[in-house]
Amino acid sequence: MNQLRHRMDLARRFHDAKLESYMGKFLKEQINSFDHIQDGKPYLAATFYVPGEIIALFDAEVVFIERMAGFAAANRIISASGVMSLLSGMPACGCSYQALFHSLLADKIIPIPSGFVASSFACDDAWMYCRAAAAKYKIPFYFVDIVQTVEESTVRCAAVQLKAFYKELEGKYRVISSLGEVIAASNKAMAIKEEIDNLRISYPGIMDSMESFKLFTLYNDFGKLPTLQILQDLKSSIQERVKDYKIEKIPRLLWLGMIPLYRNSLLRDMEKRYQCRVVFEELFDFTHQYLTYERFFEDLAKRIVSSPFFSVENRINNILHYVRTLKIDGVVHFSQRNCRFLPPAVPLLRSSLENAGIPFVEMQGDAIYPEYFNETAFWEHLDSFFEMVDGGTGCAR
């Protein structure tokens, strides 16, 4: 039996047994998609910001590279060829998310896709990997070029690119959903997500941050009907917790960047050790951009351009907003090894937070490969950081 599928199913049963129906349903969806591609259904391998709503219109399975790599890392499906794969014909110094995905293809854990689709936002590594891998396997490469400037024309140009991608799929795949259906599903999902976000702001710490890290790739599934039920179940579960919610007088942390995916209880261990709570993390934070029938591509483009990650200014303003709103006492940034997208903002972030009187620490490691994460150094570094947060001069409340 395929090891990755087996472990995903074990995780699904574990969450079902804990009555975490949203996690069980989320994993069930991934397993169904996994089964379809194993049975020979053609699929597209896509990068994170390629809007799922466009692909949901067509009879095409999609595997989001970072999500699949994340599942493999969390389930420790890592082979030696993973670390080496970027050296064997793929771009050098790439990110381990792509390296691991590449090793899943090389080791035949997942079949070769029928095409790669990449957006130039967020990072260059992802689209460059897709271009190289498509050339290697002699399959199509669809490129959505999002120019990362903050100008009036940015949304218009991105919308043109998204429409061109839609047209390419239209020529190759059968239409299975109407635009109206996909827009309705996406908007309903966004409305539930907005309610969840409001609950998280009103009741800091009500949602476990590890849940957010497991679920943030739902962003890619907003045009699909099962996403509604997953979000609805998550919202109901949070509403249940509200009944027993008490404001805890312990330091509140904001977690930025990634998390070591193979170290499931890291945040919980940190919360126990320092008597603190991670009340928010930036990856599960999407802007609430709804879609309209008349301006479908433009609205999708607006959602991308308004992302907290679209510019360093967006990101810093967003972080400062949450620091104020949630009365944050300290900020941790986990920088992914070899990521040239999020870690370069650290110096600016550090000075912005220093100006706001908020202790900040950067931790380093690799979300995918455990051998690049020094856990002893991690705790030592945090010991000094928490002296500043808890009892030092930096406490914001």
Span near ligand SF4 by CB under 6 A; candidates 20-28, 338-346, 353-361, 387-395: 338-346
d(CA 221, CA 377): 37
Q: CA angle 276-343-340, nearest 5°?
A: 150
Per-residue x/- marks for ligand SF4, 6-45, CB under 6 A?
----------------------------------------
Shortest spacing between CB 47 and ligand SF4, in angstroms: 8
Residue 386 structure tokens:
């928490």
Is residue 126 at the binding interface for ligand SF4, with CB under 6 A as the rule?
A: yes
Residue whose CB is less far from ligand SF4, 279 or 339: 339
Shortest spacing between CB 97 and ligand SF4, in angstroms: 4
Query: Number of residues in contact with ligand SF4, rule: CB under 6 A?
Result: 11
DSSP string for 346-378 = HHHHHHHHHHTT--EEEEEE-SS-GGG--HHHH
The one among 143, 203, 341, 372 contacting ligand SF4 by CB under 6 A: 341
Is residue 101 at the binding interface for ligand SF4, with CB under 6 A as the rule?
A: no
The one among 114, 307, 336, 364 contacting ligand SF4 by CB under 6 A: 336
Is residue 66 at the binding interface for ligand SF4, with CB under 6 A as the rule?
A: yes
Residue whose CB is less far from ligand SF4, 124 or 211: 124
Shortest spacing between CB 261 and ligand SF4, in angstroms: 11
d(CA 139, CA 380): 47
Burial class (CB in 10 A: 0-12, 13-18, 19+), 252: buried
Is residue 217 at the binding interface for ligand SF4, with CB under 6 A as the rule?
A: no
Burial class (CB in 10 A: 0-12, 13-18, 19+), 345: buried
Is residue 123 at the binding interface for ligand SF4, with CB under 6 A as the rule?
A: yes
Contact 339, 66 (CB under 8 A): no
Q: CA angle 67-88-64, nearest 5°?
A: 15
Pick out residues in 169-188 that bind ligand SF4 (CB under 6 A): none
Element (H, E) at 329: none
Whether omega before 122 lies within 30 degrees of 0, making that bond cis, reads yes
Span near ligand SF4 by CB under 6 A; candidates 108-116, 267-275, 337-345, 389-397: 337-345
Residue whose CB is less far from ligand SF4, 126 or 134: 126
- Give the amino acid at 216: F
Is residue 97 at the binding interface for ligand SF4, with CB under 6 A as the rule?
A: yes
Among candidates 359, 184, 188, 153, which has minimal Cα distance to 274? 359
Q: Which residues of 93-127 are buried (b: 16+ CB within 10 A; e: fewer)?
A: ebbbbbbbbbbbbebebbbebbbbbbbbbbbebbb
Helices within 277-345 (DSSP H only):
296-305, 312-325
Residue 134 structure tokens:
């498509």
Is residue 120 at the binding interface for ligand SF4, with CB under 6 A as the rule?
A: no
Pick out residues in 283-312 that bind ligand SF4 (CB under 6 A): none
Span near ligand SF4 by CB under 6 A; candidates 216-224, 265-273, 335-343, 382-390: 335-343
Q: At what angle do helices 346-355 and 312-325 cross, to 10 degrees?
A: 40
Shortest spacing between CB 119 and ligand SF4, in angstroms: 11
Contact 302, 338 (CB under 8 A): no
Residue whose CB is less far from ligand SF4, 31 or 312: 312
DSSP for residue 109: S
Shortest spacing between CB 175 and ligand SF4, in angstroms: 30
Shortest spacing between CB 308 and ligand SF4, in angstroms: 13
Residue whose CB is less far from ligand SF4, 42 or 370: 370
Shortest spacing between CB 280 and ligand SF4, in angstroms: 20
Is residue 95 at the binding interface for ligand SF4, with CB under 6 A as the rule?
A: yes
Span near ligand SF4 by CB under 6 A; candidates 121-129, 194-202, 276-284, 348-356: 121-129
Phi, psi for residue 17 in degrees, rounded to 5: -65, -30
Span near ligand SF4 by CB under 6 A; candidates 122-130, 188-196, 241-249, 323-331: 122-130
Largest interatomic CA distance in the chain:
63
Strand partners, 330: 253
Shortest spacing between CB 156 and ligand SF4, in angstroms: 25
List residues near ligand SF4 by CB under 6 A. 66, 95, 97, 122-123, 125-126, 336, 339, 341-342
